Amino acid sequence: MKRILLTTALVAAVAAPALPAAACDITVGLVMELTGPAGAYGQAGAKAVEMAFRDVNEAGGAAGCTLVTDTRDSQSQGTVAVDQATQLVNIKKVPVVIGGIISSVTIPILTSVTAPAGVVQVSPAASSPTLTQLGKQGKTNGVFFRTITSDALQGTAAAKYAIDQGLKKIAIIHVNNDFGVNIVREFSAAYAKLGGTITSTTPYNEQQSSYSAEASAAMAGEPEALYLVSTPVDGATIARAWISGGGAQKLLLNDGMNSADFIDSVGAQYLNDAYGTSSGTTKTDSTDYFYSAYEAFSGGIKPDAPAADRSYDAGAIVALAIAKAGKADAAAIKAAIPQVVAEGGMPIHAGKAEFAKALQLIKDGKPIKYEGVIGPVSFDQYGDITGPFRLWRIQDGKVTTVGEMSAAEVDQTRAALAK
Q: Is the pLDDT assigned to residue 220 strictly greater than 70?
A: yes
Q: What is the CATH code for 25-149+283-376?
A: 3.40.50.2300
Residue 236 pLDDT class (50, 70, 90 cuts): very high
Model confidence pLDDT, tens digit, residues 396-418: 999 998 998 887 788 788 788 88
The pLDDT value recorded for residue 418 is 80
pLDDT in tens, 168-180: 999 999 999 988 9
- Give the Cα separation of 60 and 294 in Å (integer): 20
Give the pLDDT confidence score for residue 10 in this predicted structure: 35
4 pLDDT band, cuts 50/70/90, is very low
Q: Is 187 in contact with 155 (CB distance < 8 Å)?
A: yes
pLDDT tens-digit map of 34-75: 999 899 999 999 999 999 999 999 999 999 999 999 999 999
pTM for this predicted structure = 0.80
CB under 8 A, 24+ apart: contacts of 352-356: 352/55, 352/58, 352/59, 353/59, 354/59, 354/285, 354/286, 355/55, 355/56, 355/58, 355/59, 355/60, 355/316, 355/319, 355/320, 356/59, 356/60
User: What is the structure's pLDDT at 404?
Assistant: 87
Q: What three-state secondary structure class fits 109?
A: helix
Give yes or no for a contact between 51 and 315, defined as CB atoms under 8 angstroms apart.
yes
Q: Does domain 151-279+388-418 have CATH number 3.90.105.10?
A: no
Q: Cβ(407)–Cβ(387) under 8 Å?
A: yes
Tell me what pLDDT residue 22 has: 53
Residues of the chain with CATH 3.40.50.2300: 25-149+283-376, 151-279+388-418
> Has residue 141 got a pLDDT over 70?
yes
Q: Residue 25 pairs with which residues in a beta bridge?
A: 66
Give the rounded percent of residues in the chain with a pLDDT score beyond 90.
Answer: 79
pLDDT averaged over every residue in the chain: 92
Beta carbons of 303 and 291 less than 8 angstroms apart: yes
Number of C-alpha atoms within 13 angstroms, CB side, residue 390?
Answer: 20
Confidence class for position 143, pLDDT limits 50, 70, 90: very high
Residue 15 CA to residue 336 CA, distance in Å, equals 29
Q: Let me know the angle formed at the C-alpha of 275 by 271 and 281, rounded to the nearest 5 degrees.
A: 125
Q: How confident is the model at residue 419 (pLDDT cuts 50, 70, 90)?
A: confident
What pLDDT is recorded for position 17? Answer: 40
